[in-house]
Amino acid sequence: MAENKTFNHLFVFALILISTSALFALADDVNGAVTLNSGTFDKILGKFKTVLVKFDTAYPYGHKQDQYKKVAESSIGQPDLLVAEVNIKDYGEKDNDDLKQRYNINKDDFPEYRLFLKNAKDPIPFKGDEEKAEEILDFLVKESGLWLGGPGSIKEFEDLVVRFFKEPQESRASIIKLAEEELTKEKHKSNFEQAEMYVKLMSKLDSDVNFLMKEISRVSKLLAGKLSDKKKHQLKIRQNILNIINAKYRESLDSKIVRNNDDANSSSNEL
């Protein structure tokens, strides 16, 4: 009798161990992302320029979770971006239910993404396809202006774009000339078309300050239509280069605001 009781206890204990192990297997770490809860959410959010949060079930899995992992891994090289996950339970102690209520998250729509931009009043909801990491990343880059690398990324020309935006309007032609000289170098033979795109886009921007946003909108509309795989690939590269230039433009605006604030503070101190 005692042996049976001991066996039953061991059997129950084994079941508990198996169940616990299964739960931890489901709640695996995601490279490039963090898990937030009600106690850490507000503390962490204010420390980053941009935070992409996925609100999801307690133990997410499957294709949509795989896409989230791709998004998280793509964010690793961008210090101004944090990718995070909030796991919501609708049973027991209802973990993170307060965050679910605060941001009007519907469990029937899991996963739901929200993009939090520093100093913005409300987060921006992602309304695309959660089964496509590419769509989530496009949304992230478009709304935040952050650079995430990818097809079309060429460091030498990105550095020239930074210099282009730092220069006053009347001096930008000299940067375009440097870009044209860079384009003739042997090392750019393999990526000539993408490199040339930087030069042409800078030239357009020099004569029309509104060109960038108009072109981003135009390319987005074209990509939404029916295209051959080859044309779609070409436009995706163009879109990525436009997003890179837009990110550098936004960074230049931020640095100008900081400089202006510093100058204003310096003047007020002198007074």
CATH code, domain with 127: 3.40.30.10
Last residue of a domain, one of 96, 119, 144: 144
Here the CATH number for the domain that contains residue 232 is: 1.20.1150.12
Domain that holds residue 68: 31-144
- Average pLDDT on 144-169 reads 86
When comparing pLDDT for 122 and 10, which is higher? 122
pLDDT in tens, 169-195: 899 999 999 999 999 999 999 889 999
Do 99 and 204 fall into the same domain? Answer: no
Do 45 and 114 fall into the same domain? Answer: yes
Do 128 and 232 fall into the same domain? Answer: no
Do 249 and 170 fall into the same domain? Answer: yes
Q: List C-alpha distances in Å: 127 to 43, 122, 131.
A: 26, 15, 12
pLDDT band at 256 (very low <50, low <70, confident <90, very high): low
pLDDT in tens, 198-250: 999 999 999 887 999 999 999 999 999 999 989 988 998 898 899 888 888 88
- pLDDT at residue 251, rounded to an integer: 81
Buried b (16+ CB within 10 A) or exposed e, 199-230: bebbbebeeeeeebeebbeebeeeeeeeeeee
Do 98 and 163 fall into the same domain? Answer: no
The reported pTM is: 0.61
Do 37 and 102 fall into the same domain? Answer: yes
* Domain tally, the chain: 2
Do 135 and 196 fall into the same domain? Answer: no
pLDDT band at 138 (very low <50, low <70, confident <90, very high): confident
